[in-house]
């Protein structure tokens, strides 16, 4: 036994030395790239346009590499593969890490976890070894190896005291670790079924279905990192979009991809998919359901068409003291010809205005010639017509330039416009859709805004926010003058035709900050991504899917969710219902079957509640039974805030310094927060943060999140708030990694079916 211990200690010291070598190489690479970047920056704006382009390219390269090198410091090395001996009896030891590293002689020090050669680290089993004799998990704290764990897959290598082939220590340590309110990566503990999903090809929509705790979100994020590594040339240019259900969820997952060395991904909640708009959560489930229907695309199109108006009778317009007539037939012809261009509203307006200005100028010419007897050129009158106040007012009333916010805001606040765009809409639906504030954007408005933007197109010469019109005109004139100067410079250089004036102006512009592909994509609504990851996808409406499909015409998607967890009253019952309208047959389903988060005794209880409500749920096998029995406290007439306080105290006793979530009905969140802060002060907050041990959240806000313990308050009201759908309750019951307490001040008969009794 003593020999075994001393041998293990010697092996541990050897691993520490080897890992230290790899960290030393990481530090050297950082220093090298810092120096190269500094040298490029010192070079300044020198030489030709080509020199500038090359300088920017090198700076971008070094900046991206440095961001990656600094992001992977935590657990840089986490595994080792000992391959079967070759004919000479030599055994290759292959270290697996977050990125690939080579030494100065280009000898490989570290294999990127996404590389093909690293696949066996996740896929090899005792029954299917893939040439692996031993798999070693390295457990680091900071940069130091504190321990290791071996999976011995080749029976001939098993010696007394060695770990068996089915060792689960690293996995169990990860799933039982204290939660911090931020998701960590699973790169060191990816299981075989998860790895198959991560490494699947990119064509069509890959649907990753799985019950709570199966690691769907983590798998999707690691898949994004894998695709960026495997298809770097394509995805580095087009980018990857990761979409989640809420801002809280995006904060929860925001560190995962950087920790894997990927910093160029656009991450957006459903309320931020329209640049410049920060939409809040929906306040009315009925309004959200209506706005999510595909029929709303036709309503928005009708609203746009109605802003291209005719005039009922002839109007007299004064132009420089002369009156000309604008007739209904003239407006109709101009509108028909503008629509025939097929261009968006704001772009087609240019055609509409141009036609009418010319016709009005012709009318003005004839009048002036008749009164003066002197020939007048029509072209000389165009500017007078275009700038005449009566003309501008008349043309704007007929065809006003619009922003998406103006169109949709008017549609949802002015009943006559809504009824005109949706003439068959029942009165109850009209009442549900209307609101008083046109700018009070909620998540279900974002697809409508996106649809409007698609139909309206860009405004002519858009002004910056707060920019006075006079200043805007001067800026436009200055820009035009700059381009004229650039044209002159091109002519003097004799390179006209090699680059254009805009390119030369851009090359000589001094930029304080370089915008990455991800940053450009995040600010450009029309950007099309190479791949899109959608989490909690069962919650998306048809209009939200329409928006996302527009973001990725290639239809390369990773779709993550669980149909049983849907909280929408009109939620689909199958993935074919969800994705069929946009993807047709271009979808395939993979299911994750193991629950790594919640203990079995808790998942059985949640499943009992879901099944009692008629939900068809996945039943993933939990990796552990758990140490704490779920608790149910029902005291009819009791104050729920008092019950919650007692339950929090009990749960803190069970999980120590673990993170406790108090999940409450939405209307009660503020009261519970106040009462709990009165008891525990700054340890309680609405969002996880350093020093926070108890968070107060709603059931909807917990989607995709996890906590050490859960105190679930008033489950009957959570179901009632969701119009009787138990999806939110099912989600809330499966957020914990250790224990759960459910408390209610209602009578037993008011509780959701299946909640009593608690299964053993």
Q: Indicate the pLDDT class of residue 2, thresholds 50, 70 and 90.
A: low
Q: By C-alpha distance, which of 499, 518, 520, 519 is closest to 508?
A: 499
- What pLDDT score was predicted for residue 466? 52
Residue 264 has pLDDT above 50, yes or no: yes
- What pLDDT score was predicted for residue 40? 82
Name the β-bridge partners of 694: 660, 684
Q: By C-alpha distance, which of 618, 736, 714, 703 is closest to 669?
A: 714
CA distance 722 to 698: 12
- What pLDDT score was predicted for residue 480? 46
- What pLDDT score was predicted for residue 337? 96
Residue 75 has pLDDT above 50, yes or no: yes
Asked whether 652 and 660 are in contact (CB, 8 A), the reply is: yes
- What pLDDT score was predicted for residue 509? 47
Residue 484 has pLDDT above 50, yes or no: no
Name the pTM for this structure.
Answer: 0.80
Which of 286-295, 424-433, 637-646, 684-693 shows the lowest mean pLDDT across its residues? Answer: 684-693
Residue 497 has pLDDT above 60, yes or no: no
Residue 380 has pLDDT above 60, yes or no: yes
- What pLDDT score was predicted for residue 645? 95
CA distance 590 to 398: 53
| Number of C-beta neighbours around residue 754 at 10 A | 18
Q: Pick the more confident residue, 759 or 441.
A: 441
Residue 503 has pLDDT above 90, yes or no: no
- Range 117-134 average pLDDT: 91
The set of residues, in sequence order, having a beta carbon less than 8 Å from that of 572 and lying 6+ positions away, is: 538, 563, 566, 578
Chain segment 620-661, per-residue pLDDT in tens: 788 888 889 999 999 999 999 999 999 999 999 998 888 999
Burial 721-735 (b: 16+ CB within 10 A, else e): bbeebbbbbbbbbbb
- Range 696-700 average pLDDT: 92
The set of residues, in sequence order, having a beta carbon less than 8 Å from that of 371 and lying 6+ positions away, is: none
Q: Indicate the pLDDT class of residue 314, thresholds 50, 70 and 90.
A: very high
E strand or H helix at 217, and its extent? helix 216-230
CA distance 655 to 416: 57
Which of 253-257, 567-571, 594-598 shows the lowest mean pLDDT across its residues? Answer: 567-571
Residue 21 has pLDDT above 80, yes or no: yes
User: Could you tell me the strand order of the sheet in which 266-269 lies?
Assistant: 266-269, 240-244, 531-534, 557-561, 205-210, 587-592
CA distance 351 to 620: 60
- What pLDDT score was predicted for residue 475? 57
Residue 474 burial (CB < 10 Å; 0-12/13-18/19+)? Answer: exposed
Chain segment 328-345, per-residue pLDDT in tens: 999 999 999 999 999 999
Asked whether 559 and 534 are in contact (CB, 8 A), the reply is: yes
E strand or H helix at 266, and its extent? strand 266-269
Residue 524 has pLDDT above 90, yes or no: no
Residue 382 burial (CB < 10 Å; 0-12/13-18/19+)? Answer: middle
To the nearest whole percent, how much of the chain has pLDDT over 70?
86
- Range 217-244 average pLDDT: 91
Residue 609 has pLDDT above 80, yes or no: yes
To the nearest whole percent, how much of the chain has pLDDT over 90?
53
CA distance 698 to 718: 9
CA distance 755 to 608: 7
Q: Mean of the per-residue pLDDT values for the chain?
A: 85
- What pLDDT score was predicted for residue 759? 67
Asked whether 224 and 257 are in contact (CB, 8 A), the reply is: yes
- Range 679-706 average pLDDT: 90
DSSP string, 516-573: PHHHHHHT-TT---SEEEESSGGG--HHHHHHHHHH-TT--EEEEE-GGG---TT--S
Residue 352 has pLDDT above 50, yes or no: yes
Chain segment 149-189, per-residue pLDDT in tens: 988 988 887 665 444 444 555 666 666 666 767 788 888 88
- What pLDDT score was predicted for residue 176? 62
- What pLDDT score was predicted for residue 564? 75
CA distance 410 to 406: 6
Residue 543 has pLDDT above 90, yes or no: yes
Q: By C-alpha distance, which of 96, 154, 211 is closest to 727?
A: 211
Q: Indicate the pLDDT class of residue 491, thresholds 50, 70 and 90.
A: very low
- What pLDDT score was predicted for residue 172? 62
What is the 8-class DSSP label of residue 745? S
Asked whether 381 and 363 are in contact (CB, 8 A), the reply is: no
Chain segment 410-429, per-residue pLDDT in tens: 999 999 999 999 999 999 99
Which of 285-294, 622-631, 706-715 shows the lowest mean pLDDT across its residues? Answer: 622-631
- Residue 287's Cβ-side half-sphere holds a number of Cα atoms within 13 Å equal to 18
Q: Indicate the pLDDT class of residue 305, thresholds 50, 70 and 90.
A: very high
Q: Is 50 helix (H, G, I), strand (E, B) or coil?
A: helix
Asked whether 77 and 100 are in contact (CB, 8 A), the reply is: no
- What pLDDT score was predicted for residue 490? 45
């Amino acid at each position: 036994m003593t020999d075994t211990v001393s041998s293990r200690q010697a092996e541990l010291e050897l691993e520490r030395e080897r890992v230290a070598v790899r960290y030393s190489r990481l530090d050297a690479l950082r220093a090298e790239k810092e120096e190269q970047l500094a040298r490029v920056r010192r070079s300044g704006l020198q030489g030709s346009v080509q020199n500038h382009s090359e300088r920017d390219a090198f700076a971008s390269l070094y900046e991206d590499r440095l961001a990656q090198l600094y992001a992977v410091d935590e657990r840089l090395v986490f595994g080792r593969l000992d391959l079967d001996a070759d004919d000479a009896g030599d055994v290759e030891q292959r270290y697996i890490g977050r990125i690939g590293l080579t030494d100065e002689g280009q000898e490989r020090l570290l294999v990127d976890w996404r590389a093909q050669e690293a696949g066996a680290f996740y896929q090899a089993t005792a029954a299917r070894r893939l040439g692996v004799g031993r798999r070693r998990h390295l457990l680091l704290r900071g940069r130091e190896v504190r321990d290791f764990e071996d999976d011995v897959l080749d029976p001939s290598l098993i010696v007394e005291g060695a770990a068996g082939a089915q060792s689960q220590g690293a996995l169990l340590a990860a799933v039982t670790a204290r939660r911090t309110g931020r998701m960590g990566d699973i790169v060191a503990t990816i299981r075989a079924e998860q790895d198959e999903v991560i490494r699947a090809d990119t064509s069509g929509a890959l649907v990753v279905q799985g019950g709570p705790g199966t690691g769907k979100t983590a798998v999707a994020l690691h898949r994004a990192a894998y695709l960026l590594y495997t298809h770097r040339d394509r995805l580095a240019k087009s980018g990857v979009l990761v979409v989640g259900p809420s801002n809280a969820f995006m904060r929860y997952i925001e560190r995962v991809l950087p920790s894997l060395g990927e910093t160029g991904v656009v991450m957006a909640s459903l309320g931020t998919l329209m640049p410049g708009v920060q939409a809040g959560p929906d306040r009315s489930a009925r309004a959200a359901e209506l706005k999510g229907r595909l029929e709303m695309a036709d309503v928005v199109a009708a609203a746009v068409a109605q802003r291209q108006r005719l005039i009922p009778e002839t109007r007299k317009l004064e132009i420089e003291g002369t009156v000309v007539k604008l007739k209904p037939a003239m407006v109709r012809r101009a509108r028909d010809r503008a629509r025939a261009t097929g261009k968006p509203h704001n772009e087609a307006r240019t055609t509409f205005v141009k036609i009418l200005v010319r016709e009005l100028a012709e009318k003005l010419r004839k009048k002036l010639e008749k009164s003066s007897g002197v020939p007048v050129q029509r072209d000389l009158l165009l500017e007078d017509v275009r700038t005449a106040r009566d003309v501008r007012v008349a043309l704007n009333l007929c065809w006003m330039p619009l922003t998406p916010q103006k169109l949709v805001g008017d549609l949802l606040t002015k009943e006559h416009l809504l009824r005109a765009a949706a003439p068959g809409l029942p009165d109850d639906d009209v009442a549900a859709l209307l609101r008083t504030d046109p700018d009070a954007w909620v998540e279900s408005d974002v697809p409508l805004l996106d649809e409007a933007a698609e139909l309206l197109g860009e405004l002519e010469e858009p002004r910056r926010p707060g920019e006075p019109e006079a200043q805007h005109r001067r800026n436009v004139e200055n820009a035009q003058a700059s381009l004229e100067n650039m044209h002159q410079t091109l002519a003097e250089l004799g390179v006209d035709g090699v680059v254009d004036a805009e390119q030369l102006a851009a090359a000589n512009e001094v930029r304080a900050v370089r915008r990455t592909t991800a940053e450009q994509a995040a600010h450009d609504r029309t950007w099309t991504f190479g791949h899109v990851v959608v989490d909690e996808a069962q919650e998306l409406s048809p209009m939200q899917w329409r928006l996302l499909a527009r973001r990725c015409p290639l239809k390369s998607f990773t779709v993550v969710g669980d149909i049983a967890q849907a909280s929408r009253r009109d939620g689909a019952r199958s993935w074919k219902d969800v994705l069929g309208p946009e993807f047709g047959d271009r979808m395939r389903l993979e299911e994750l079957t193991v629950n790594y988060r919640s203990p079995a005794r808790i998942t059985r209880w949640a499943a009992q509640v879901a099944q009692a409500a008629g939900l068809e749920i996945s039943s993933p096998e939990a990796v552990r039974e758990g140490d704490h029995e779920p608790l149910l406290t029902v005291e009819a007439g009791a104050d729920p805030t008092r019950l919650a306080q007692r339950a929090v105290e009990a749960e803190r006793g069970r999980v120590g310094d673990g993170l406790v979530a108090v999940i409450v009905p939405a209307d009660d969140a503020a009261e519970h927060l106040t009462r709990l802060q009165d008891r525990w002060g700054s340890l309680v907050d609405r969002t996880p943060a350093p020093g926070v041990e108890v968070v107060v959240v709603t059931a909807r806000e917990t989607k995709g999140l996890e906590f050490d313990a859960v105190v679930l308050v008033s489950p009957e009201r959570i179901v009632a708030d969701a119009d009787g759908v138990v999806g939110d309750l099912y989600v809330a019951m499966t957020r914990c990694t250790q224990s759960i307490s459910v408390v209610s001040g209602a009578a037993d008969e008011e509780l959701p079916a299946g909640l009593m009794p608690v299964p053993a």
